Amino acid sequence: MTDLLDHFDAAVARHPERVAIVDGSGREVTFQELQSLSRGLAEEWRAKGVRPGDRVLMAMGVNVELYASLAALWSLGATVVLPEPAMGLKGLRHAVATTKPKAFCAKGLYRFLKLIIPGLWRVPVLRPHAPAEVTEVKERVNEAVALISFTSGTTGAPKAIPRSHFFLMAQYDAVASILESEGEERDLVAFPVFTLVNLAAGRTSILPCWKMSRLARLTPARLGDWLRETGATRALLPPSLAGLLPGAGKTGLRHVFTGGGPVFPNVVKRLQDDLGVDVTCVYGSTEAEPIAHLKGQEIDAEDMEEMARGAGLLVGRPVPEVRLRICEGEIEVTGDHVNKSYLDPAQTRENKIFEGDDVWHRTGDAGRLDTQGRLWLWGRVGDEVDGPDGPIHPFVVEVAAAGWKGVTHCALMEKSNSPVLLIEGERRYLPEWKEAARTLGIEKLELVSAMPMDARHHSKIDRVKLARMLNG
């Protein structure tokens, strides 16, 4: 079976002079140049002792060298360990303790992390630079672990997820049809997994000019400038950044793909109405990406009304590559691109269901399938609050409230054993919000000055922090 590197090599053969990556400084690297860099690094690092199966911790910015290093290490059969960037030093320490790497691949100031993390003191440092010799190296096998990444830790301790070359190829197959285009595209990509897909498909990826750990600092003006400077035709962004686009001015974008957090219908409508772009919403998780997707034009007036009345969040039909079922209200999925286990067996037992040859992943999301086979989300299992007529799932209220005038963020929580809707937004609309909340069965409503958001994509409410704020 072919893998991502085979597809990348084929893309190089087809389009050697096409730009593969535009990094955050504006530097452009062609497919041929990226291949030459990765092969040179592979030859050098093999001489330094990197062998198949070795775990190599990687710490560097999202740039050309990151993807060249990934390709080099994969060609050697090594397993790349990618810490969760949003967790900072804590995430690095967790990754080292969990995976016990045999080498440390770092660039710039990241190299000095070796001095403050004891687990890295005795391992060699691999530095990505422009090597002199270029030869092809291929020592990988499809079943070998290519990558160990981590869940965000938003809903608990970060879980280490091993992914084989076979898994990454299955993920490519599941994503490719969503991203395919008849023309040549230049994609602004905020999700590394989609950059890997683009490299394998022969498409140009434009990397962020901002730090992913500082999303809240990005302004619509800066985002718009970057899109215009790089000539982006499409954007793959979390909802928090997609929501900035209407204020970014004319950019030349034709299509916006968004996911990594709930994509509320008011955001989709603004993108379509204000920018005239196509919108595709992608639902998935670190363990299973993608699960479902929805094109903006498929959301009709009846769907909008249902969401406004408290039906939850429509996320579309499951992708063909996944099987999906609802068990006791929880969404479960299985498929070749659905993670089968974690490094920690205890986490595997807690989140996986083994049935014959099938391994079902418990997403932790509550939802339902409608008569058209479309998936609707209700929120996280366990986040529901007790109402006068029974449990109320968060998205039943939040999706509706997100569309009210003046609302920036909202969250349904429990306070003093009763539901309360917390809203960050313009205070002058408070009377209207209270009246609308009552139609959804919510009597209590409070304002918050700033809603805590997840560190990874700044697109999901951090309910743990919010509960601490609420209960003081």
- 213 found inside a domain: no
Q: Where are the beta strands (DSSP E) in 393-466?
A: 407-415, 418-425, 444-447
**Residue predicted with more confidence, 231 or 457:** 231
- 270 found inside a domain: yes
CATH number, domain containing residue 330: 3.40.50.12780
Q: Please tell me the total count of domains within the chain.
A: 3
Q: Are residues 226 and 279 in the same domain?
A: yes
**Residue predicted with more confidence, 443 or 216:** 443
Give the end of a domain, one of 104, 134, 169: 169
Q: Are residues 149 and 266 in the same domain?
A: no
Q: Are residues 153 and 52 in the same domain?
A: yes
Q: Are residues 353 and 415 in the same domain?
A: no
Q: Are residues 162 and 294 in the same domain?
A: no
pLDDT digits (tens, 9 = 90+) for 432-470: 999 999 999 999 999 999 999 998 888 999 999 999 998
Q: Are residues 230 and 358 in the same domain?
A: yes
In this prediction, residues 73-94 reach a mean pLDDT of 92
- 340 found inside a domain: yes
Q: How many CA atoms lie within 13 A of 197 on its CB side?
A: 22
**133 confidence band (pLDDT: 50, 70, 90):** low
DSSP 8-state class, residue 159:
P
Q: Are residues 103 and 36 in the same domain?
A: yes
Q: Which two tokens stand for residue 158?
A: 């970060």
Q: Are residues 66 and 105 in the same domain?
A: yes
- Evaluate if residue 134 carries a pLDDT over 60: no
pLDDT digits (tens, 9 = 90+) for 332-368: 999 999 999 999 999 999 999 999 999 999 999 999 9
Q: Are residues 414 and 362 in the same domain?
A: no
**286 confidence band (pLDDT: 50, 70, 90):** very high
CATH number, domain containing residue 132: 3.40.50.980
The pLDDT value recorded for residue 213 is: 74
Q: Are residues 361 and 247 in the same domain?
A: yes
Cβ contacts of 181 within 8 Å, gap of 6 or more: 203, 234, 255
pLDDT digits (tens, 9 = 90+) for 16-41: 999 999 999 999 999 999 999 999 99
Q: Are residues 311 and 357 in the same domain?
A: yes
Range of the domain at 120: 29-169
